[in-house]
Amino acid sequence: MSARIAFVGLGNMGGPMAANLVKAGFEVSGFDLAPASQEVAARNGVRVGATLAETVAGAETIMTMLPAGKQVLSVWTELASLVAAGTLLIDCSTIDVAGARKAHGLASDADCVSLDAPVSGGTVGAAAATLTFMVGGSEEVFARGAPILGRMGSRAIHCGDAGSGQAAKICNNMILGVTMAGVAEAFVLAEKLGLSHQALFDVTSTSSGQCWSITTNCPVPGPVPASPANKGYKPGFAAALMLKDLSLAQDAANSVGAVTPLGAQAMQLFRLFNSLGHGESDFSAIIKLWRGEAEGNRI
């Protein structure tokens, strides 16, 4: 492939994603403010630009993977004055639905086409090109972007019009936050009842309690060797990011009058966990709250 792609945001997620596009045969230029991210990307074959304008010059597709909506809208506002009409803009960040729709509007005003395409799969999925993309935008634009997304993930699901990818992402992660909190509670209860981790896992992983928080990201060491619990709770998916996504879900729920008491409770629990200094731990480490292992624990 000879298509030119510019990738803005070369951190823990964007860096491996851009590297996989290079492996797939695309010509990839990249931009990031962090020198360490620039160096890693360059070693992986990304042509690192000195400025945003230099990076996106001549690109047919521009992708962004940034920390929050503020950065996305700032970059997309600048892109609107730099890109040629017809350029495809894809944002893979996780941001609020309203912000995603504003980004689509910026692209439209510049006569460009756009997709919001947040991801699930974390840093492991980014490195292995097994991410799931939840995509918002027109069917026509999705058809154009899907072959590119397919080089970085195993699935790209068209969820609807502009902003629908972000809506799907925050709903999915609200489920994830709620289930992890519940799974962690259950494992601590099992410990106090004298039940081994393996016994509970063997039952729940094949019974009605089965969920991703058990079978893939089990919050205790042992039953799932690849889970962060076996690596000192190194993420994975950081607790700070889970708090961000749960907060986005609550903002969205409030904006449409949806009642989400479990999501709200999960957000409060992760807010407490983050406030105790565990934001950089995998979100499954929230089990420490119920064990009383988190400093300052007041549960």
Average pLDDT over residues 270-295: 94
Average pLDDT over residues 143-168: 97
By annotation, the residues acting in catalysis are 169
Which pLDDT belongs to residue 3? 85
Confidence of residue 172 (pLDDT cuts 50, 70, 90): very high
Average pLDDT over residues 230-251: 95
Query: Residue 297: is its pLDDT beyond 80?
Result: no
Confidence of residue 293 (pLDDT cuts 50, 70, 90): confident
pLDDT, averaged across the chain? 95
Residues in the chain: 299
Residue 271 phi, psi (nearest 5): -65, -45
State CA 61 to chain mean position distance: 20
Which pLDDT belongs to residue 122? 84
Query: Residue 299: is its pLDDT beyond 50?
Result: no
Which pLDDT belongs to residue 80? 93
Residue 64 phi, psi (nearest 5): -125, 140
pTM listed for this prediction: 0.90
Average pLDDT over residues 131-145: 98
187-218 residue pLDDT tens = 999 999 999 999 999 999 999 999 999 999 99
Which pLDDT belongs to residue 180? 98
15 vs 297: which has the higher pLDDT: 15
Confidence of residue 1 (pLDDT cuts 50, 70, 90): very low
